Amino acid sequence: MSKNPIKHVVLFKFKEGTSESQVTEIIEGYKALPGKISVMKHFEWGKDISVENLNQGFTHCFITTFEDEAGRDAYIPHEAHQAYVKVLLPHLDKLLVLDFSPEVGQ
pLDDT of amino acid 3: 81
* 78 part of the active site: yes
At 104, the pLDDT band (50, 70, 90 cuts) reads: confident
pTM of the model: 0.89
Question: Given 8, 30, 60, 75, which residue is catalytic?
Answer: 75
Tell me the CATH number for domain 6-99: 3.30.70.100
**Which of 40, 39, 51, 48 lies closest to 96 in space, CA to CA?**
48
**Secondary structure class of 60 (helix, strand, coil):** strand
pLDDT of amino acid 5: 95
At 106, the pLDDT band (50, 70, 90 cuts) reads: low
* 75 part of the active site: yes
Question: Given 8, 78, 81, 91, which residue is catalytic?
Answer: 78
Cβ(61)–Cβ(10) below 8 Å? yes
Residue 77 has pLDDT above 90, yes or no: yes
Cα 61 from Cα 94, distance rounded (Å): 12
Reported as a single tens digit per residue, the pLDDT across 29-53 is 999 999 999 999 999 999 999 999 9
Cα 71 from Cα 85, distance rounded (Å): 18
* Radius of gyration for the alpha carbons in the chain, expressed in angstroms and rounded: 14
Residue ranges per domain, the chain?
6-99
